[in-house]
Amino acid sequence: MKPLKLALIGTGGIAQTHMRALAKTDQIEVVAVCDIVEEKAARTAKEYGVPKVFVDYHDILEMDEVEAVSICTWNQAHAAPAVDALHAGKHVLVEKPMAATLVDATAMAKAAKETGLILMVGVQPRFGFARKTAKAIADSGALGDIYYAEAVACRRCGIPGGSFIRKETAGIGTVADIGVYALDEVLHIMGHPKPVAVSGIANNLLGKTHHPVEGSWKWVPEDLSVEDFGVASVRFENGALMVFKTSWIMHMDSLGTNLVLGTKAGLKMHPLTIFTHQYERLIDITPQQGDSKDGDLFLAKNMAFAEAIWEGKPSPIPAHEMLITNVIIQGLIDSAAAGREVAVSVPEI
């Protein structure tokens, strides 16, 4: 198999993690990199021996040799390169969250449908042992019907700095940044039911009024223009309800972890435990990973993307699944602005 010819759009922090992972395989060759800050792209190209450097991603799309692009730009710059790349005949791996807005995510999903090319959203925890095990258990029917879930991604004092906290670059704060991991995990286990209503609040009461402390993440309070806290209840078409909680900063140690309750068993993540009644006893089951290790999940997600292209398989993490995370995220933001529950629906693609 000839190596997949890949180009990276955006060479900031997470692109470096991709480059380090890709340096471990000869099955994917990075043939071009691009960043609106030329010096960042040039530095990455020099470090990893990438032959071509651009400041405008359209130049990458002109390269016949490029089969696929990996989009590592900030959230507000996911949709345009993804849609343009798909229409230029390139498969797309895009960083999480799929997009900052439901409008952007919908445009991306439509472009994938229209072109028939792969659009994969790179939520790497999908490739870890705990998630694969939880998904297999849920798909086996061992949990029964899932009627309640909690999706939780909370830090006590972990506001990231830089492009993550500015509206013009990130577009959205913790709700999509780390919230998307929790949503993806729980929705994946639940089998992607369709949300119909969301009621939530979002604010940045703490991040604007508190300063970094010893040992905490560093941010500039004056730069914070997105939410650093968001919670919502989410109703699904099948009658289930999810409580979604996410924070970058709060006066609490924990708001729990991802879990689902089913009619036959409950499942909690981190560490993965199944709670059930068996043998006339209350039984807890803890799957063991043994000597196997998760390895580099960034390499795993890039390889899954490449293998889907080579084998003509569907996207390993497809747009129609990730679109549901954007429906809930948008619902939370819209409900918070309106001060009441809002009806939501998954767009027809």
Cα 241 to Cα 243: distance, rounded to the nearest angstrom: 7
Q: Which of 6, 9, 120, 328 binds ligand NAD (CB under 6 A)?
A: 9
- Is 295 near ligand NAD (CB under 6 A)? no
Per the listing, tokens 């492009």 go with 163
Q: What is the DSSP string of 231-244?
A: EEEEEETTS-EEEE
Q: Which is nearer to ligand NAD, 96 or 155 (CB)?
A: 96
End-to-end, the C-alpha distance of the chain in Å comes to: 33
Among 54, 92, 95, CA closest to 72 = 95
Please choose, out of 7-15, 133-141, 189-197, 226-234, the segment that lies near ligand NAD by the rule CB under 6 A: 7-15
What angle separates helix 13-22 from helix 38-48, to the nearest 10 degrees? Answer: 20
42 binds ligand NAD (CB under 6 A): no
Encoding tokens for residue 297?
């999940």
Using DSSP bridges, classify how beta strands 91-95 and 68-71 pair: parallel, antiparallel or unpaired. parallel
Q: How near is the Cβ of 75 to ligand NAD at its closest, in Å?
A: 5
Residues contacting residue 138 through CB under 8 Å, at least 6 positions apart: 146, 189, 190, 191, 260, 262, 267
Min dist. Cβ of residue 125 to ligand NAD (A):
9
CB of 93 or CB of 267, closer to ligand NAD: 93
Least distance between ligand NAD and beta carbon 149 (Å): 22
Given 5, 14, 203, 208, the residue binding ligand NAD (CB under 6 A): 14
One of 124, 199, 204, 302 touching ligand NAD (CB under 6 A): 124
Which letter does DSSP use for residue 166 in this model? -
Whole-number Å distance between alpha carbons of 31 and 29 = 6
Among 25, 27, 133, 163, binds ligand NAD (CB under 6 A): 163
Per-position DSSP letters for 67-95, written without gaps between them: -EEEE-S-GGGSHHHHHHHHHTT-EEEEE
Answer for which of 144, 158, 162, 347 binds ligand NAD (CB under 6 A) is 162
Q: CA 298 → CA 23, 176, 240, 270, distances in Å?
A: 11, 19, 33, 20
Q: Which is nearer to ligand NAD, 127 or 229 (CB)?
A: 127
Tokens of 289: 């990973």
Residue in the shown chain whose Cβ atom is closest to ligand NAD: 12
Size of the site for ligand NAD (CB under 6 A): 25
- Out of 44, 60, 74, 261, the only residue in the binding site for ligand NAD (CB under 6 A) is 74
130 part of the interface to ligand NAD, by CB under 6 A: no
Q: Nearest 5°: phi and psi at 197?
A: -155, 145
* Upper half-sphere CA count for residue 87 (Cβ side, 13 Å): 12
The region of 4-12, 61-69, 200-208, 304-312 touching ligand NAD under the rule CB under 6 A is: 4-12
Binding status of residue 73 toward ligand NAD by CB under 6 A: yes
* The binder of ligand NAD chosen from 3, 23, 36, 196 (CB under 6 A): 36
Cβ nearer to ligand NAD, comparing 15 with 66:
15
- Binding span for ligand NAD by CB under 6 A among 6-14, 219-227, 280-288, 331-339: 6-14
Does residue number 75 form part of the binding site for ligand NAD (CB under 6 A)? yes
Q: How many residues does the chain have?
A: 349
Contact set with ligand NAD (CB under 6 A):
9-15, 34-37, 40, 57, 72-75, 77, 95-96, 122, 124, 162-163, 177
